[in-house]
Structure 1
Amino acid sequence: MSYPIRPISEDEWQAFGDVLAEGFNWTPNPQQQERYKAGTEFDRTLAAFDGDTIAGVTGIHSFAMTVPGGPIPVAGVTAVSVLPSHRRRGILSSLMRRQLADVRDRGEAVAALYASEAGIYGRFGYGRASDDLSFTIAKANSAFVKNAPVDPALRLRVAKPADVRGELEALFASVLAERPGRYTRSSHMWDGVLADEEFDQQGNGNLRSILAEDSSGVRGYALFRIKPSWNENGIPDGVLWLHELYTADPAAYALLWRSVLERDLVSTVRTWGRPVDDPIIHLLAEPRQLKARWADELWVRLVEVGKALESRSYAVPVDIVIEVLDDVCPWNAGRWRLTADASGASCKATDEEPSVTLPVSALGAVYLGGGSLGGLQGAGLLTEHTPGAVRSLGAAMSWDPKPWAGLTF
C-alpha cells in the first residue's frame, strides 16, 4: 500500500500527538501537550497517512551543534513513531528516506537523534556517535583527591532557577563550543529544562539551582531535585537527582560538585546522562565508589558525506580515499578523497582505489570524535585495503573532549 507523506498542519497536531502517545506508551498531561506543541516546527514535521488516519510521524528541531572545530547546522530528528496497527508496512522506512531527502534539500549535511531503542536507526545510516554515563555516588564515600582545584574568590549562591534563567542561559552559551555534541537551546528548550510543574517533578521535589560565581559573574551552575527520606532508624536518607552541571573552569566545577555531594539530609547523589570523560571520575579519591551505567546517547547520520567531512576539523593530518556504502542516500555511495590538515579539509568524489571501505553509519559513529573505527574493524563492520589506513583515519577523526549532547531533544 501507498502511504502519502507530507508536513502536518497545526490543526492536525492532536492526531500527530495521538500517534506519539500510542507509540511511546505515553499518557501526557494536557499542559505537557501544549508545551510540546509550542516547540513543534510544523514545516519539518512529517506524517504518513492511511486515508485520513495519521499512521506514522517524525519531526525535526533545527539548531547548531558543536562538531570538532565549531558549530554547524544540524537536523535534530525527534518524534519518530508508527501506530502499533501499522507496523511492518514500510512506513518508518518511507518516513526516514523522505526526511533525509528534505534535510539534504535544506542544505544540512548532518542529522542527529536520540534513539528510544538502540537497534532501530543503524539500518538508516545512523551511527552511535556518543555515549553517556549515569552515576550513583554515596555521600559517605565522596572525598576528593587532595589536589582538587580550589579558588578562594569563588562563592556559592542559592537561587530559584526561574529567577536566574538569564544567567543560566548565558553560562551555557559560553561553554557551548567546548564539547562536540552540545547544541544551541531555543527558548522553548529552556522552558523544558526549567519546567517545574508537579508532573515534571515526578515525586523528586522542586527544581533547585546553585551558582558558583566571583566578582566578575557566574562561572557555573547546577540544577537538581531532592527526594527527602529517612530510614527506619530515623537517619536522613534523601536522594539528590542532579539534572545539569555546567561550568567555565575546573575550580567552579569542583566547588559545585562538592556542594551537591555535601548537601544536608542527603545520602546519595544520582545523575543520568553525563559525558564518558566527566572530570568527576578523576576528582573522586576512591573512583570505585562512582557506580556508573554506560549507554548510547547521540546517533549521527551524514546526509551529505563530502560537505559533512569538510565541515569539521581533524586531530592530525590525513589524506585517504574512502569508499562509502549507502543504500538509503545513494548520492553518498562511492569513493571520496579526504584531505585535511590544520588549514582545513577537502572531501571530493574520486575514481581512485580506496584505502578503506565502510558503511556511512561508521562515519556517523566517528563524526563527533567519539567512536572507534578500530573497534568497528575488529567487529568486521568495515574493510581495510591499505594496512594502517583505519588507524590513520581514526586518529584524524578522534577528538578531545569526547562528544556529549547532555539534553534529549
Structure 2
Amino acid sequence: MTYPIRPISEDEWPQFSGVLAEAFNWTPPPAQAERWKANTEFDRTLAAFDGDLIAGVTGVHSLSMAVPGGTLPVAGVTAVSVLPSHRRRGILSQLMRRQLADIRERGEAVAALYASEAVIYGRFGYGRASDNLAIGIPTHRSAFVATAPSDPSLRIRVVTPADVRPVLEELFASVVAERPGRYARNEHFWNHMLADEEFDQNGAGRLRAILVEDAGKARGYALFRVKGSWADNGGPDGELQLRELHAADPAAHALLWRSVLDRDLVTKVTADVPVDDPITQLLADVRQLNARWGDELWVRLVSVDAALAARAYAAPVDVVIEVADDVCPWNAGRWRLTADTGSASCKPTDEAPDLSLPVAALGGAYLGAGSLAAQHAAGLLTEHSAGAVRALATALSWSPAPWAGLVF
C-alpha cells in the first residue's frame, strides 16, 4: 500500500509530535516539546498519511559536520517514527526512500543519524560510522600516569553555564572541526545543551560548569551534573555525570578531567566519550574506565561520487569500487576513486572492479573509523584485486576517531 507523503505545516505539529511520542513511549513536558518544535525545519519534515491520520514521520536537521579534512553540509536525519498501529506496512521504507531522494535533490551528499535500534538502518544503506565509550571511573582509583601534561599557568574557575554561554560557544566552535562527526551548533542546539529545567536535571541537580583559563582566556570547559548520595556507612557516594568536556590543548584537557575526578563528595564519574578520548591514555590503570562500547553515528552516502570526492585521504589510493545500492539506484555501479593526501576524484567507469561492496560499508568507513578490513574478514564484501581492501581502508582511515557527541 502506498501512503501519501509530504512535509507538514506548523499547525500539524501536534499530530506529528504525537506520532514520535507514541513510537518512543515518551511524554515530553510542554517546555521540552516547545524546544524541540523550535529546532524543527518544517520544510524538511515528512509525514505519511493514512487518510487524515499521520501514520509515520521523519525530519532532517541541516548540519555542517566535520569530515576528514574539512566540513560538509550533512542531512541530520531525526524523528523517525511509525505508529504502532501501522507497523509492517512499508511506511518506514517509503519515508526513507522519499527522504533520501529529497536530500539528493538538495545537493547533500551525506546523511547521518543516531539509531534507536541498531538493526533498523542498515537496510536503507546506513553504516555504523562512529563508536562511543560509556565510562564510569571510580574517583579513588583515578590516578593519572606520571607523564600527564600540566601547565602551571592554567587556572580553574567555577561558573554558571548560562552566564558564560558566549565563551562556551566560542571555544566549541574553535575545536568542532578537529574530530569527524562533530557538527556546528545553532542556537537551538545550545539551548538544548544548557537547558536546566527540573525535567532536564532528572534527579541529578543543576547544570554546572568549570572553565580552564590562562590569563583570562578560556582553553577548555566541562559541563556536568552531580547526583548527591550517601553510602550506608554515612560516607559520600555522589555521582558526577559529565555532559561534555572540550579543550584546546592536552594540558587543559588533563586539568579538566582532574578537576571533575577530584570533586568533593563524588565517588564516581560517568561520561560518554570517543573511543580514543585522551582520558583512555591518562589513567594509570586503564581498567578503571569500566568502559561499555556502543554504536554512535550511522552514515549514509547519498551520492557516492560527490561524497568520496569531498573528503581528505590518509594515503594515496586508486581503486575501482563496485557499489550495490537498491535504495538509491543512482549509486549502484562501478566508480573509480583516485585520491592522494591533497585531492580526490570519484567517477563512473566500466573498468573491472577491484572490490565489490554494499553502500552501507562505505558509509561506515566514511568518517575514518575503518571497518572495511573487518567486513572483508567477515565475508561481507568481495575483493577482486589482492590488496584492494587494505589500500582503500588505509586511505579512508583518519585520526582522531569520529564522534558526534550530541544526539540530534
TM-score by length of 1: 0.99
Superposed CA offset, 1:381-400 (max 9, x none): 10000011000000000001
- CA contact under 8 A between 1:64 and 1:73: conserved in structure 2? yes
The alignment partner of 1:348 has SS state of: strand
Instruction: Tell me what 2:100 maps to.
Output: 100
1:358 is paired with a residue of what secondary structure? strand
SS where residue 307 of structure 1 aligns? helix
Partner of 1:352: 351
Correspondences of 1:86-165 after superposition (within 5 Å):
86-165=86-165
The AA in structure 1 aligned to 2:343 is G
Which whole-Å CA distance do the structure 1 matches of 2:285 and 2:2 have between them? 59
Partner of 2:338: 339
Distance in 2 (alpha carbons) for counterparts of 1:322 and 1:198: 52
1:379 CA displacement: 1.1
What residue ranges of structure 2 are gaps of 5+ in the alignment?
none
Amino acid paired to 1:187: E
Equivalent position of 2:14 in the other structure: 14
What is the match of residue 76 of structure 2? Answer: 76
| In 2, Cα distance between equivalents of 1:263 and 1:354 | 57
Q: CA deviation at 1:216?
A: 5.6
User: 1:59 Cα deviation (Å)?
Assistant: 0.2
- CA distance in 2 between counterparts of 1:119 and 1:9 reads 31
Deviations 1:219-238 (A, max 9, x none): 00000000111111110110
CA contact (8 A) 2:322 2:357 kept: yes
Aligned pairs for 1:185-200 within 5 A: 185-200=185-200
CA distance in 1, matches of 2:153, 2:260: 19
Q: Give, in whole Å, the separation in 1 of the partners of 2:122 and 2:382.
A: 18
CA distance in 2, matches of 1:124, 1:110: 13
Q: Does 1:320 align with 2:319?
A: yes
Partner of 1:205: 205
Q: Per-residue deviation at 1:289?
A: 1.1
Greater displacement, 337-346 / 347-356: 337-346
Residues 60-114 of structure 1 show CA distances to partners (whole Å, capped at 9, x for unaligned) of 0001100001000000000000000000000000000000000000000000000
Aligned equivalent of 2:406: 407
Between the aligned partners of 1:306 and 1:115, the Cα distance in structure 2 is 25
Q: In structure 2, how many angstroms separate the alpha carbons of the residues matched to 1:378 and 1:342?
A: 27
What is the match of residue 386 of structure 1? 385
Identical counterparts, % of pairs: 72
CA distance in 1, matches of 2:136, 2:341: 41
Counterpart Cα distance in 1 of 2:178 and 2:342: 20
> Match of 2:261?
261
Alpha-carbon distance in structure 1 between the residues aligned to 2:41 and 2:221: 30
* Equivalent residue letter for 1:323: E
- Paired residue for 2:375? 376
Q: Distance in 2 between matches of 1:85 and 1:372?
A: 37
2:274 is aligned with 1:275: yes
CA offset digits 1:337-381 (Å, max 9, x no partner):
000012300000000000000000000000000031010011111
Is residue 58–residue 78 contact of structure 1 (8 Å, CA) maintained in 2? yes
Asked if the contact 2:144/2:284 (under 8 Å) is kept, the reply is yes
CA distance in 2, matches of 1:3, 1:373: 37
Q: Is the 8 A contact 2:312 2:342 kept in 1?
A: no
The whole-number CA distance in structure 2 between the counterparts of 1:342 and 1:364 is 20
CA distance in structure 2 between the aligned counterparts of 1:379 and 1:7, rounded to whole angstroms: 40
- In 1, Cα distance between equivalents of 2:341 and 2:245: 32
- Matched position secondary structure for 1:338: strand
The equivalences for 1:284-303 within 5 A come to: 284-303=283-302
- The alignment partner of 2:290 has SS state of strand
Q: Distance in 2 between matches of 1:51 and 1:110?
A: 33
Secondary structure of the corresponding residue to residue 277 of structure 1: coil
Deviations 1:289-347 (A, max 9, x none): 11000000000000000000000000000000000000000000000000001230000
Amino acid at match of 1:120: I
Distance between the aligned counterparts of 1:9 and 1:54, measured in 2? 12
Q: Quick one: distance in 2 between partners of 1:399 and 1:338?
A: 17
Distance 2:254 2:327 in 1: 46
Moved more, 94-103 or 212-221: 212-221
Structure 1: runs of 5 or more not aligned: none
2:400 partner amino acid:
P
2:341 and 2:404 map into 1 onto residues whose CA distance is: 25
CA distance in 2, matches of 1:318, 1:296: 28
Q: Corresponding residue for 1:329?
A: 328
1:242 aligned partner, one-letter code: L
Q: Which residue of 2 aligns with 1:30?
A: 30
Report the secondary structure of 1:347's partner residue: strand
SS at match of 2:256: helix
Aligned AA (2:200)? D
Whole-angstrom distance in 2 between the partners of 1:70 and 1:363: 18
Q: Report the equivalent of 2:167.
A: 167
> Aligned partners of 1:343, 1:92: CA distance in 2, in Å?
40
Q: Which amino acid aligns with 2:56?
A: G
- Alpha-carbon distance in 2 for matches of 1:97, 1:336: 22
Residue 288 of structure 1 aligns to a residue in which SS? helix
Secondary structure of 1:327 counterpart: coil
Assess if the C-alpha contact under 8 Å between 1:130 and 1:371 holds in 2.
Answer: no
